[in-house]
Amino acid sequence: MKHSLENITISKASPADIPQMVAVINAVYRGESSKQGWTTEADLIAGDIRTDEEDIAQLMALPTTTFLIAVHRESGLVGSVFLSLKEDKKLYLGMLSVHLDWQAAGIGRKMLSAAESLAISLGCTAMTMQVIVGRSELTAWYERNGYRATGERKPFDGPSKFGVPKVPLEFAIYEKPLG
């Protein structure tokens, strides 16, 4: 089914959105159903959850954190993204998630643009993120949108309650200058 960006609004998430956000994030990243999409981590990390309501609520409560959501007038929440303002005036982007039925409709790009606009309004000089090394399709998408690998790597350090790596993993750091 072809979806259009008509009737999609991007706004700041509220605590009431958390259950829907968690459902979308987990469906996109983990478990068998996530393998229908191109953002899955299911072959790399064992487990069915990427996050839970408690984790999202704790992140949302931080004064430096914003979650944006994409909502379709009839279908409801179809995407979300985690954003965290860093001390170096960079906005960290994580957990960009688009409902499996809505992938390839342009929502990810629209959410990325909204995140970058927020960063500029906060006086940020760059966007930054970390991506699991070896996720070539995902990194290619970010590169098409102006993000570049910095050469920095970090160990994969996710809490085991959110899955255990099936293979050794590390993160590559990506960045996009703003302004």
Ramachandran bin of 151, using left for φ above 0, alpha for ψ from -120 to 50, beta for the remaining angles: left
The number of domains in the chain is 1
With a threshold of 0.75, does the pTM exceed it? yes
Task: Report how far residue 54's alpha carbon sits from residue 47's, in angstroms, rounded to the nearest whole number.
Answer: 17
The whole-number mean pLDDT for each consecutive block of 10 residues of the chain, a chain of 179 residues, reads 79 98 94 82 88 97 98 94 96 96 92 97 97 92 97 88 89 95
pLDDT at res. 2: 62
In a domain, 50, yes or no: yes
Domain that holds residue 82: 8-177
CB 173 within 8 A of CB 149: yes
In a domain, 1, yes or no: no
Task: Report how far residue 169's alpha carbon sits from residue 179's, in angstroms, rounded to the nearest whole number.
Answer: 33
pLDDT tens, residue by residue, 86-137? 999 999 999 999 999 998 889 999 999 999 999 999 999 999 999 999 898 9
* CATH label of the domain that carries residue 98: 3.40.630.30
Residue carrying structure tokens 């000089």: 125
In a domain, 2, yes or no: no
In a domain, 3, yes or no: no
In a domain, 55, yes or no: yes
Structure tokens at 2: 């072809």
